[in-house]
Amino acid sequence: MSSTANSGKPLSNYGDAVDWLMSFADFERGSGPRRAMGDFALDRIRSILRRLGDPQHGRITIHIAGSKGKGSTAAMIESVLRAAGFRTGLFTSPHLHDFTERIRILGAPLPDFEFARLCEQLRHVIEAEQAEDPGHISTFEILTALSFHAFHANDVDVQIVEVGLGGRLDCTNVFSRTDAAVITSLSHEHTDILGDKITQIASEKAGIISAACQTVILAPQRYSEAADVVRNAADDVPVPLIDVGGDYLSEIAGVEPWGQWFRIGRRNPRPGEQPRAMHLLPLLGRHQIDNALTAIATIDSLNASGVVAVPSEALHKGLATVAWPARLESFELPETLTSNDPGGAPTVVIDGAHNAESVQRALDACREYFPHNQLHVIFGVLGDKALQDMANIIQTRSDRVYATTSDHPRARPPQQVAEAFADADWDGEIAVLDEPHAALSAAGQSAHAGDVILVLGSLSLAADARRLLSAPLETHIVRRAEDPTL
């Protein structure tokens, strides 16, 4: 641990707090020893929380695990509950720009001064824990404890908590009761820790299901064997399970400058529920509709059990006003980075896709929601991601790729990214750029009006690109909603 953490100097501002957090083992950014599944345990986080008075208890709790879509789903649930008048706390990871984004009260990141103040309070607890039981503690464990401490300090009614990694041994899995355990889309990820079989991954994610869980919400799944693992875990407890893919129907109804309209159908509506409804969602992509269905099913379940009372108006408003940046977010390229095409500037679309499945979704959505002549891809990945799988998919959609890197310790060098495109069957162009600004400039010089520049590969690259661009654009109109009043 660094001298900053041991100095006893008060954490008087956000910078001090971040320096303190980063003095611990941060496995997201690659500091500290590499972990395997056998290294994970809940004893340490439970001890820290006991010292804080177990602030994770005493409020409505929604716990969300999954491979894809858990952050978006969490944001939608929070937005709906806030629209219904509940005082909400949201914990997600990783952050896009600042650590404060991970802990939100009433939808807003903790103010810098509040973040530092709560870190200072927690610092004394961490020091006491380490004095009694020396050993490794991670930045994520501290952030998890910090989130519950913040929720208690701000007297929230309901907490929506996203799992960090896995589920069974994730340090968010410390509740005496959860009102809903949500399992979003499952796919291959962190195979070195969770296992290389989808059933192993599903088993770890399903570890948030216990006898203390009131309902399980299972999002639509690509892999039937993964869905079966979750169903069996719920049956073993037993606890009721809502199968979103079987119980809810959806279809896109139109796309406006402010988002996409979609219809839902409830196969077995409860008393008071509408069999059919129509909603507006600012987030684009068919996968976001699946996430919205999962959020709706969660709210339906909470309503049915009497845990909350969310009127349909709040459901509509919460979905229509949710914000979750760097997910198919569009920008106009600044003039300084363009070729000054008299027809106008190309559109830049930023997405945090970082595995093969999410890259495929981003490319599909780009074709559907951002009609274009040519697709230019700015691509950079972290070291533990399936680079070749993602590159193979990109090759089928684009013949101009700009390999770059992000400001992240685990980011692959751009030359290594470029080597993944050395397939003899691919005759596209590959450029190697040392940083995102150069990649955006190179793409801007090549792209014309009617083209799209898609930035993807990691959330850190998405964050770097967002810093270089102006305010997001409104969505291009693809087709108007047929009946937005339904």
Mean pLDDT of 280-284: 96
Spatial distance between the Cα atoms of 406 and 414, rounded to a whole number of angstroms: 9
Residue 377's contacts (CB-CB under 8 Å, 6 or more residues apart) are 394, 397, 398, 400, 401, 402, 453, 454, 455, 456
pLDDT at 25: 87
| pLDDT tens, residue by residue, 358-395 | 999 999 999 999 999 999 999 999 987 789 999 999 99
Whether pLDDT at 478 is above 90:
no
Closest CA to 183 of 67, 278, 317: 67
pLDDT of residue 188: 79
Non-local (6+) Cβ contacts of 336 within 8 A are none
CB distance 405 to 380 below 8 Å:
yes
Q: Which residues pair with 279 in a beta bridge?
A: 262
- Computed from CA positions of residues 226, 28, 408, 75, in that sequence, does the dihedral angle turn out positive or negative? positive
Secondary structure class of 452 (helix, strand, coil): strand
Give the residue from 160, 333, 338, 369 showing the smallest Cα distance to 258.
369
Residue pair 56/175 in contact by the 8 Å Cβ criterion? yes
Confidence of residue 29 (pLDDT cuts 50, 70, 90): confident
Judge contact between 431 and 461, C-beta under 8 A: no
Residue 250 near residue 263 (C-beta atoms within 8 A): yes
CA distances, 365 to each of 287, 375, 385 (Å): 9, 12, 21
Mean pLDDT, range 221-228, rounded to an integer: 96
Q: Per-residue pLDDT averaged across 270-298, rounded?
A: 96
| 485 band by pLDDT with thresholds 50, 70 and 90 | very low
Rounded distance between C-alpha atoms, residue 274 and residue 83, angstroms? 19
Residue 189 — pLDDT band, cuts 50, 70, 90? confident
Residue 479 has pLDDT above 70, yes or no: no
Neighbouring residues of 392: CB distance < 8 A, sequence distance ≥ 6: 356, 423
Mean pLDDT for the stretch of residues 49-61: 98
Q: Quickly count: other Cβ atoms within 10 Å of residue 389's Cβ.
A: 15
Burial readout 120-151 (b: 16 or more C-beta within 10 A, e: otherwise): bebbebbeebbeeeeeebbbbbbbbbbbbbbb
453 and 440 in contact (C-beta within 8 Å)? yes
Q: Round to the nearest angstrom and report the end-to-end CA distance of the chain.
A: 58
**pLDDT (tens digit per residue) in 131-171:** 998 878 999 999 999 999 999 999 999 999 999 988 999 99
What percent of the chain is predicted at pLDDT more than 90?
A: 81
Kindly report, residue by residue over 312-326, the tens digit of the pLDDT: 999 999 999 999 999
CA R_g for the chain: 22
Over the chain, what is the mean pLDDT? 91
User: Has residue 481 got a pLDDT over 60?
Assistant: no
Q: Where are the alpha helices (DSSP H) in 272-413?
A: 286-304, 312-320, 356-369, 387-395
Query: pLDDT tens across 32-51, in order?
Result: 444 554 456 899 999 999 99
Per-residue pLDDT, 94: 94
pLDDT of residue 340: 73
**Is residue 483 pLDDT above 60, yes or no?**
no
What's the mean pLDDT in 202-226?
Answer: 96
